[in-house]
C-alpha cells in the first residue's frame, strides 16, 4: 500500500503508526474470517440431516465400517445406510442418484458423469495355510495353481482374469464363508491387506506378497461429477482425512503383518495419499 509499516534497523524496532493501523485491521480481518468459517460450518451442519447412502465393494468393507462410525458420530442427524455390491452395479446406482458415494477400487476407468477421489493404495496378498515354500513373493501363475475361495470384487478384474485357470474357484460375498473355507487349510485366497484380519489366526496361515503386475490397488470414493460437491459428500471426504481416521486406516493396513513371514521393509510399505 506504499506505506512503511515496520521501523527499520539492524533489529526489529517496532511498528510505525501506519503499521499499528495495518496490524489492527489484520487482526479484525482474521477474526472476521474465523467467524465466517464458523457460520459456514453451521450452515453446512444444518443441512447434515436426512438420508445418506454409502456403497462399498466387499473388499472395502473394513474401511467403510470405520468411516461410517466416525461420520455418524460427527453428524448424528444423518440417516446413514450402507450397501455392498459389485462395482458396475454400484456405479449405476450413483449415476441414477440412488447412491451418494461408493467406496471402491479405482484402478478401472470411471464412467462418464462420475468423479473419483483417491484415498490410499494397498497391496494384495495370497493367504494360505498350504505349503508355498515360504516364498517372499509368488506370481499370479503360482496363485492360479491353488484351489481358491475369493471374496467378490476383492481382486481387480485384470488380476482375476489370470485366476480363472485355478483348479477350483469359489466366489462369495461373505467374510464368514471365506474364513470357513480358508480355515480348512485346503483353500487359499487373495485379499487386500486391509481385510486380512477377517481370517482366523492360525500358526499355519501366512500372507505372501504377489509379484507385479496388478499387485496393488487404489482405494477411494466415486460420486457424481458435480462442482461444487454436495456439502454432505465433501464432509465425508473431510472425515476420511482427519488425523484420527488416517491413523485408523494405517493400523487397519498394518494388521496383515501378524500373518506375514519376515519381509524387507520395502515390501511392507503402504502409500497413503494426501488429501
Is the pLDDT assigned to residue 209 strictly greater than 70? yes
Residues 129 and 175 in one domain: yes
- 35 located within any domain: yes
User: Would you say residue 221 has pLDDT above 90?
Assistant: yes
| From 37-41, 139-143, 209-213, 216-220, the region with the lowest mean pLDDT | 37-41
Among candidate residues 210, 228, 243, the one where a domain is terminated: 210
Name the β-bridge partners of 102.
55, 222
Whether residue 237 sits in one domain with residue 174: no
Residues 51 and 41 occupy one common structural domain: no
Q: Specify whether 92 is located in the same domain as 226.
A: yes
- Does 180 fall in a domain? yes
84 and 132 share one domain: no
Both 105 and 223 in one domain: the answer is yes
In a domain, 266, yes or no: no
- Are residues 144 and 201 located together in one domain of the fold? yes
Question: pLDDT band for position 265 (50/70/90)?
Answer: very low
pLDDT at 262 over 60: no
The domain of 82 spans 46-121+217-255
Check whether residue 152 and residue 169 sit in a common domain: yes
The CATH number given to whatever domain includes residue 108 is 3.40.190.10
89 in a domain, yes or no? yes
**What would the mean pLDDT of 174-179 be, rounded to a whole number?**
89
Q: Which of 175, 191, 210 is the last residue of a domain?
A: 210
Reduced to 3 states (helix: H, G, I; strand: E, B; else coil), residue 13 is coil
Strand ranges (E), 109-251:
114-128, 137-138, 148-151, 169-172, 188-192, 206-210, 216-224
Q: Find out whether 147 and 167 touch, Cβ atoms under 8 Å.
A: yes
* 264: pLDDT strictly greater than 60: no
Q: What is the pLDDT of residue 40?
A: 66
Question: Hunting for cell 482474521 — which residue is that?
Answer: 30
Instruction: Report how far residue 147's alpha carbon sits from residue 167's, in angstroms, rounded to the nearest whole number.
Output: 6
pLDDT digits (tens, 9 = 90+) for 69-119: 999 998 888 899 999 999 989 999 999 999 999 999 987 666 778 999 999
pLDDT digit string, tens, across residues 49-65: 789 999 999 889 888 98
Mean pLDDT for all residues in the chain: 84
270/60 Cα distance (integer angstroms): 16
Same domain, 133 and 202: yes
Q: Verify that 164 and 129 share a domain, yes or no.
A: yes
Within a domain: residue 31? yes
**132 and 97 inside one domain:** no
Q: Tell me: do 134 and 182 sit in the same domain.
A: yes
Structural domain total, the chain = 3
Q: What are phi and psi of 206, to 5 degrees?
A: -135, 150
Residue 264, in any domain of the structure: no
Mean pLDDT of 119-131: 87
Amino acid at each position: 500500500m506504499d506505506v512503511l509499516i515496520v521501523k527499520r534497523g539492524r533489529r526489529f524496532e517496532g511498528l510505525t503508526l501506519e503499521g499499528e493501523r495495518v496490524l489492527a485491521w489484520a487482526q479484525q480481518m482474521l477474526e472476521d474470517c474465523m467467524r465466517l468459517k464458523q457460520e459456514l460450518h453451521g450452515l453446512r451442519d444444518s443441512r447434515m440431516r436426512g438420508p445418506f447412502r454409502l456403497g462399498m465393494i466387499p473388499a472395502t468393507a473394513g474401511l467403510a465400517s470405520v468411516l461410517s462410525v466416525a461420520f455418524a458420530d460427527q453428524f448424528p442427524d444423518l440417516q446413514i445406510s450402507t450397501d455392498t455390491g459389485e462395482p458396475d452395479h454400484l456405479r449405476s446406482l450413483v449415476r441414477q442418484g440412488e447412491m451418494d458415494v461408493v467406496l471402491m477400487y479405482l484402478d478401472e476407468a470411471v464412467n462418464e458423469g462420475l468423479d473419483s477421489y483417491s484415498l490410499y493404495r494397498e497391496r494384495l496378498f495370497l493367504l494360505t495355510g498350504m505349503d508355498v515354500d515360504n516364498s517372499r513373493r509368488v506370481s499370479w501363475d503360482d496363485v492360479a495353481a491353488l484351489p481358491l475361495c475369493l471374496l467378490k470384487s476383492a481382486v481387480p478384474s485384470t488380476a482375476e482374469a489370470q485366476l480363472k485357470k485355478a483348479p477350483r474357484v469359489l466366489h462369495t460375498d461373505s467374510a464368514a464363508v471365506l474364513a470357513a473355507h480358508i480355515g480348512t487349510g485346503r483353500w487359499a485366497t487373495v485379499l487386500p491387506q486391509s481385510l486380512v484380519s477377517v481370517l482366523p489366526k492360525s500358526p499355519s496361515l501366512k500372507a505372501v506378497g504377489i509379484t507385479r503386475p496388478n499387485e496393488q490397488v487404489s482405494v477411494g470414493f466415486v460420486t457424481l461429477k458435480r462442482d461444487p460437491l454436495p456439502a454432505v459428500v465433501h464432509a465425508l471426504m473431510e472425515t476420511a482425512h482427519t488425523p484420527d481416521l488416517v491413523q485408523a486406516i494405517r493400523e487397519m493396513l498394518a494388521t496383515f503383518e501378524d500373518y506375514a513371514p519376515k519381509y524387507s521393509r520395502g515390501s511392507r510399505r503402504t502409500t497413503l495419499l494426501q488429501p
